[in-house]
Structure 1
């Protein structure tokens, strides 16, 4: 559901561009760096590196690349470059570095923090044509591919061979694996398969000066010095552009079951999560939570069918294993016990693919449903489980219904990642002042993270200090200066302006 929506947003961005204020206007405090202005000379050189049809300069072609899919930010780039190989990326960056042209790497452009579109007039380097699957070692389960491969295409390729991607996202029909790696994306099954960072065995990346760094290791154990691949995982294209990836993929489960539950209070959500970890053990693969307003966004705005009655909270619990009958019995027994004790008020279990897909469409449809309200202030934070939801009623008290349509929370209760959302008819600077920096200060006091899985991008640079110490920021700055001394790679992102 969400991936279909992401496609629609991409196709229709040109119609929304006029409604999206330029980032340089909305965030007037951000100043353009001392970079060169694009000239005809630059375009001619790009056309020597790439075939002319892969150098986009027509405003009608470029404009959709300038706007993020949430329509929060808009850049003013005049050119989009579409390389197909690492060598072409290297030549582009070498030239941009020599000319001091700022570059914005862009994959599927499904980011939620403004990291994948220009802030000013940066050259956009799109990896969309770098979409070759190099191969799968079926003995080790290691997949090697280019950075522009769409996540869903990788999932299809692997499933035909009895494997699966360790990462699953609602936007998998559009997002690219290079962007996933560059943001260290989380997803809905982190509780079972761990973070993407742990599954990536190697990367190939290109530095700002065009030098290719080959860390494309496919071994599960390699203890030879610094783990350089980690410099590029989660750095959001500020240290280098990822061009190839080697990722360890687990075998596909033979049986998948999903339970959809209704609960009265958040304390019951935590108790159910604790019981699920204990009773479902090794087959537990996902544990998601939605409050009433979150689910309502999908049900009401998207006209989706709600499988159970109306409750303050909902949970979606998935199991993945090798014995379908055993796993279904185990999940059904878990649900029966939860209903008997009163922790869960209602619930249903699905094992057939169509019903499982319907359950997940509700969870994945929340993001789309919220966008139907208007403008969305989105926050992606990690919190201790005991405080996972408490910021939602706090913000509901701070904001009046005259200011907002809804304040709601949903997310990955299994790993403590809350997606906090405030919807308004249109962007409202007064609401912004009430919400920020309050959300980040509140998160910091609880020793949480201001970005659980979406990255820092452009939107959170001034708040990264709530989760990173000054010494850590200084070291990050030193690494940036070493690897990109002219600062041409994805400027205005990740690091705060004073760094």
Structure 2
């Protein structure tokens, strides 16, 4: 399709540039500086295709999008995509969607994913079926040009929703967003994101939820605001309702009602994900597990913990450590992430080398399905060979197949002796040889092997003012040992350090044995993500590769991007072949993104890697799944989704691309 997309009169449209890592940036320019109520320290505001008039709001361009005439700035014309006559081109087309333009001057902010850096012009003006645009007040216009009292009032200066207000337009609005990914030989290509035909929230729905969850069904804009935005501030929804159940029965009641009424739901834990999987894209109801934080049982003999899904990982670790055990999972976000979210995303983390993935340590799950039925597979058995292992369907499903409400997990004994070595290496081949020597000499006590390049350390020192005790090396490795005998472990570690130092694999290093110094050294690795956010716009990629090729991608990307990128850094879990590739620039650049994607995914596919090692696909990467999975596997996944969630109400727009119509019946 060329020219303006054919949108119906009830379909407000938007034209969004894809920001690094999947954030959406509306096209156009702003006048009068940042017209936003969002925090000014986050650079790079989102500018709609029309003209921002400063703090007061948007100019709507005379006519509403979806009606005749031009709305604001000019509409771009896109070329046709090239024919997919190779596997790579086919994957590109499958991942990026159909070619076509969108109106660049819509003058409206949709309730879809917004910019990570704030929206220039917070009023969120909407067009109605009649094409009317409410000015100044930002009130949603209905088919008759007005909404009944108690409608959703959006404050023009801050974008805050008036308290005790619920937007219920008299006629359903169907927003469509067009997400361009990267220019190609055939022109600019994009992925259309359209609100699916879910029912809008009604006063009757709100009354039901207030009765079902007294005091725990919130429409408070101050409480909804952080729940609508992901941790990276790269995806933003416009949910009007936050539900906080405390029990599985309450989750079941909520989902049964939502299924009957065709209301979309976004399950949410600690909201620490990096691919936009835990926030609404449009107006989905947010179902938070924050109050489901009860420990159900702990067996001190077997080390099996059973708890509700909303328990915070760090709190669980503190609890089991008091019993002489430890959690098999450790993440930088452990202070806020929920165990249910960890399982739903199959989080990897820092201890995977020692304890394996959650697919091995999770023994059982309790899950509420889309229709409200409860699947009780909360076993505490390590061996159960009766039928299919259904829990594996939900581990890593990102809340699209069911809502995890309780987890049974095997906890290992807490190590009595922990040592940490922070070492410098002069080349990546020496890092690899150090890893090989480490596995051979440390064996069973090796619990973590992390690597980071010198650029990572420079950013941590520059932006977070942390001190690097080992300087002057192009690469750094962090090695953790954990065991039951400190003398034995120290002897093995000292023998290893002597070997790598005398052989020239390591040029400098330091060792920590006390908790304070261990935490200080770990922070150099764990806070790299935080340091990168201070370096400008960040393009984040979570790649799994053969260990020997791990850093080749970083070097190839540096050579490809040259001076167009500010920094290209690589770090990650070397022990399990997980690279975190991060690229920064002073501000968002569509040409830079086009140089990165789909090159990074094609490179990974050629090396038989995975485009998502541990972060999941969420909203940002779902269209790229065929770079890692064959089409037949994707189709089978879509059939599982259709079987368990026929109406598609659970976390829509995430994880999987839309199924072909022939596969939905």
The bucket for the TM-score relative to the shorter chain is over 0.9
Counterpart for residue 206 of structure 2: 43
Counterpart for residue 61 of structure 1: 223
| Cα 1:81–1:490 shift into 2, 3 Å | same
User: Matched residue of 1:399: which SS?
Assistant: helix
Q: 1:305 aligns with which of 467, 470, 473?
A: 467
User: Could you tell me how far 1:353 is from its partner in structure 2?
Assistant: 1.2
Does 2:587 align with 1:426? yes
Counterpart for residue 464 of structure 1: 625
User: Could you tell me how far 1:25 is from its partner in structure 2?
Assistant: 5.9
Does 2:647 align with 1:486? yes
User: Could you tell me how far 1:438 is from its partner in structure 2?
Assistant: 1.1
| Cα 1:410–1:23 shift into 2, 3 Å | farther
Alpha-carbon distance in 2 for matches of 1:270, 1:375 = 30
- Confirm or deny: 8 A CA contact 2:114 2:237 kept in the other structure: no
**Pairs aligned (count):** 485
- Confirm or deny: 8 A CA contact 2:622 2:655 kept in the other structure: yes
Does 2:532 align with 1:367? no
Please list every run of at least 4 consecutive aligned residues from structure 1 whose deviation after the TM superposition is greater than 4 angstroms.
16-27
The higher radius of gyration belongs to: 2
TM-score normalised according to structure 2 size:
0.71
Counterpart for residue 178 of structure 1: 340
Q: 2:242 aligns with which of 63, 77, 80?
A: 80
Alpha-carbon distance in 2 for matches of 1:429, 1:94 = 43
Alpha-carbon distance in 2 for matches of 1:303, 1:75 = 34
Segments of 5+ residues of structure 2 without an aligned counterpart are 1-36, 48-110, 116-176, 179-191, 661-665
User: Could you tell me how far 1:365 is from its partner in structure 2?
Assistant: 1.1
- Confirm or deny: 8 A CA contact 1:332 1:349 kept in the other structure: no
Q: 1:140 aligns with which of 294, 298, 302?
A: 302
Alpha-carbon distance in 1 for matches of 2:441, 2:483 = 14
Cα RMSD, aligned residues only: 1.6
User: Matched residue of 2:541: which SS?
Assistant: strand
1:1-30 residue CA offsets vs partner (Å, 9 max, x unmatched): xxxxxxxxxxxx964799468744676221
Counterpart for residue 444 of structure 1: 605
Counterpart for residue 5 of structure 1: none
TM-score normalised according to structure 1 size:
0.95
1:201-260 residue CA offsets vs partner (Å, 9 max, x unmatched): 000000000000000000000111010111111000000000000000000000000110
User: Could you tell me how far 1:417 is from its partner in structure 2?
Assistant: 0.3
Counterpart for residue 576 of structure 2: 415
Alpha-carbon distance in 2 for matches of 1:83, 1:265 = 52
User: Matched residue of 2:652: which SS?
Assistant: coil
User: Could you tell me how far 1:437 is from its partner in structure 2?
Assistant: 1.2
Segments of 5+ residues of structure 1 without an aligned counterpart are 1-12
1:243-294 residue CA offsets vs partner (Å, 9 max, x unmatched): 0000000000000001101011100010000000000000000000000111
1:435-482 residue CA offsets vs partner (Å, 9 max, x unmatched): 111111110110001110111111111101111111111111111011
User: Could you tell me how far 1:358 is from its partner in structure 2?
Assistant: 0.9
Q: Which one has a larger percent helix, Structure 1 or Structure 2?
A: 1
1:392-423 residue CA offsets vs partner (Å, 9 max, x unmatched): 1111122233x332110100000000001011
Greater Cα shift, 290-299 or 151-160: 290-299
User: Could you tell me how far 1:498 is from its partner in structure 2?
Assistant: 4.2
Q: 1 or 2 for the larger relative contact order (CA 8 Å, sep ≥6)?
A: 1
Aligned 1:182-261 pairs, distance under 5 A? 182-261=344-423
| Cα 1:67–1:266 shift into 2, 3 Å | same
Alpha-carbon distance in 2 for matches of 1:379, 1:444 = 14
Alpha-carbon distance in 1 for matches of 2:254, 2:566 = 45
